[in-house]
Amino acid sequence: MLLDDKSVYLMRLGDNALVLSQRLSEWCGKGPAFEEDMALTNIALDLIGQARMWLSYAGEVEGRGRDEDALAFRRDSHEFTNLLLVEQPNGDYAQTLVRQFFFDAWHQLVLEALRRSSDDRIADIAAKAIKEVAYHLRRSSDLVVRLGDGSAESRRRMQDAVDELWMFTGEMFNADETEELLGAQGLACDPSTLMDAWLAMVSEVFAEATLELPAGEWMQKGGKQGRHGEHLGLLLAEMQFLQRAYPGATW
Amino acid sequence: MYAQMVDTGVKRVQGLDEMSAEERAFQERIDAGIKIEAKDWMPEGYRRTLIRQISQHAHSEIVGQLPEGNWVTRAPSLKRKAILLAKIQDEAGHGLYLYSAAETLGVTRDQVYADLLSGKVKYSSIFNYPTTNWADIGTVGWLVDGAAIMNQIPLCRCSYGPYSRAMVRVCKEESFHQRQGYDLVMTMARGTPEQKQMAQDALNRWWWPALMMFGPPDSDSVHSAQSMQWKIKILSNDELRQKFVDQTVPQAEYLGLTVPDPELKWNEDTGHYDFGEIDWEEFRQVVAGNGPCNRDRLRTRVKAWDDGAWFRDALLAHAEKKSERQVAAAKAA
């Protein structure tokens, strides 16, 4: 059923932005420099704006009366469809940055494709979001270079983060039936087509950063289908606390 | 009001006839309402007092992110979360802007920040209180930003140019913060009984600390008199406090919330509200480091700074490598 596929797809886009925004806002007031505090808050804010647009649209398409907040605060972990990458804990600042870089590089490619979507509203949201994401990517790739090719300690931390997160990158390019179907209709983007461009972008930045692409080929998957790790449940428990504790209240 | 009890280093205020020619010319400029700019001559006491005042204000913006950050991951709607993030981002921006204003007086940001981390320089006492329920986020916007605006609007007219211009910009954003805070509290005060209870509980806890933000009574402060002569303080602590009470009490009534002061009542003769005695011992203890959150707040900032050392060092290392490479490339060419 097309409408179901479409709302599922929109929810994935919204969940990625929402969960990553939530992770970034955990850094609030605790960043390694004032400018970083500001930048992370800024990116978290951009992402939450994008999450709201995707989730509102998902709720409308779904037609069951769920608005952005119903989707954000009253679904359980198995109903969240974000990539496993974005739910990974912040770790040290290197891990936060590498997670961001992997995601930003992918996000930009996805939004570029969605700007040409046959669905006008998807194209509009993508066109708005891509302006923000172009800045996110510029910032994260610049910091990956500077920290990779920085001190011995920063290089080690960055390489550790790359090795830690690599197995969560494969999922970004696995198309499932929903994506294949909507991709064929020109409504969504088939992510398997983005792999080469993403790898080229990452390789180029890593070369300048003196970081190595991990050899490991085994990739985790399942986030998009609602199969998550243990971290997401705790993230949601915190995020959803008030809506769960006081159902029916208006905030 | 983010700077409290700023030490001017003087025991009493000099008259024009006791001043040197330079000091007199300086004071006359101030009296004539002409702004002092960074490169102008200024008395050492003026410069040092401004550094203290501006950096204390900047530190308050930076530390002030923590009590609000405490709820950003638990904000109950995406819209509220976005508003709160935007507010926190504004505050970090105010901090940076104010550090820049302090730097025009011949200190570096790292120097004044080190004084915060070592506990030598304070930030506003208000940020040493905990945010324990969601209504606190609205109440902080309503009362704390409300008190800050009360103090900062007159400071837009202060004698030091860079500071007055910073205040103009900061005030615009603060008044947005206050409005969103009041809106949040109103939503809760008109919500379910549980929400109303949270809103009342928040007002109960924040009312007195908010009044303390304006600093000790005028009778206790020689520094205020000097700062007022220099026009880096425009209205006295007690005047500001009274204005704040007069403005805020009707707002609380409109919300259907009770201000936690049994002695509070309208005085027909003075045209102001009379209010009860402030617990100045609590204020002194909080300023001295014994508030409920002083240790936590400072520990959090120190940890962030220490954990970030490798990051800042690496950026420097990269910049050095890059300039070495440029020099080498220039030689080779």
pLDDT of residue A3: 67
What's the average model confidence in pLDDT over A59-83?
Answer: 97
User: Which residue intervals of chain B are DSSP H helices?
Assistant: 21-31, 44-63, 65-72, 78-103, 109-117, 135-139, 145-155, 161-189, 193-212, 222-229, 237-255, 280-285, 294-307, 309-332
Residue found under tokens 């009493």: B12
Residue to substitute from A45, A205, A235, interface B, most B β-carbons within 10 A: A45
Mapped onto helix, strand or coil, the DSSP state of residue A167 is: helix
Residue type, B17: D
Q: Which residues pair with B265 in a beta bridge?
A: B274
**Nearest alpha-carbon partner for A156 in A207, A217, A210, A102:** A210
* A25·B81 Cβ contact <8 A: yes
The confidence band for A225, taking pLDDT boundaries of 50, 70 and 90, is: very high
Q: Give pairs for A221-225: CB < 8 Å, separation 24+.
A: A221/A84, A221/A170, A221/A171, A221/A174, A222/A84, A222/A171, A223/A81, A223/A82, A223/A83, A223/A84, A223/A85, A223/A87, A223/A171, A224/A12, A224/A81, A224/A82, A224/A83, A224/A171, A224/A174, A224/A176, A225/A81, A225/A176
Q: pLDDT, tens digit, for every residue of A89-143? A: 999 999 999 999 999 999 999 999 999 999 999 999 999 999 999 999 999 999 9
DSSP state for residue B287 in the 8-state scheme: I
The confidence band for A2, taking pLDDT boundaries of 50, 70 and 90, is: low
Pair A40, A22: CB distance under 8 Å: no
Mapped onto helix, strand or coil, the DSSP state of residue B266 is: strand
Window 91-110 of A: residues touching B by CB (8 A cutoff) are 92-93
Q: Tokens in use for A130?
A: 């891509």
Window 1-20 of A: residues touching B by CB (8 A cutoff) are 18
Q: pLDDT, tens digit, for every residue of A182-193? A: 999 999 999 999
CA distance A157 to chain B (A): 10
Pair B249, B259: CB distance under 8 Å: yes
Distance of alpha carbon B319 from alpha carbon B327, whole angstroms: 12
ipTM of the complex in this document: 0.96
pLDDT by residue, tens only, chain B of 333 residues? 467 777 777 777 888 888 899 999 999 999 999 999 999 999 999 999 999 999 999 999 999 999 999 999 999 999 999 999 999 999 999 999 999 999 999 999 999 999 999 999 999 999 999 999 999 999 999 999 999 999 999 999 999 999 999 999 999 888 889 999 999 999 999 999 999 999 999 999 999 999 999 999 988 876 788 899 999 999 999 999 999 999 999 999 999 999 999 999 999 999 999 999 999 999 999 999 999 999 999 999 999 999 999 999 999 999 999 999 999 999 988
Average pLDDT of chain A to the nearest whole number? 96
**Nearest alpha-carbon partner for A149 in A209, A99, A89:** A209
* A42·B89 Cβ contact <8 A: yes
Residue found under tokens 């002409």: B34
pLDDT at A1 over 70: no
Q: pLDDT, tens digit, for every residue of B254-279? A: 999 999 999 999 999 999 999 999 99
Distance of alpha carbon A194 from alpha carbon B169, whole angstroms: 44
> SS3 letters for A47-83?
HHHHHHHHHHHHHHHHCCCCCHHHHHHCCCHHHCCCC
**Of the candidates B66, B134, B311, which has its C-beta nearest A242's C-beta?**
B134
C-alpha distances out from residue B253 to B80, B209, B249, B260, B276, Å: 24, 19, 6, 12, 18
- Residues with Cβ within 8 Å of residue B51, at least 6 apart in sequence: B102, B105, B107, B112
CA distance A243 to chain B (A): 6
pLDDT of residue B15: 83
Distance of alpha carbon B283 from alpha carbon B51, whole angstroms: 23
CA distance B315 to chain A (A): 6
Residue type, B174: E
Pair B249, B264: CB distance under 8 Å: yes
Half-sphere exposure of B292 (CA within 13 A, CB side): 10
Domains of chain A plus CATH, in order, are 3-214+222-245 (1.20.1260.10)
pLDDT of residue B221: 73
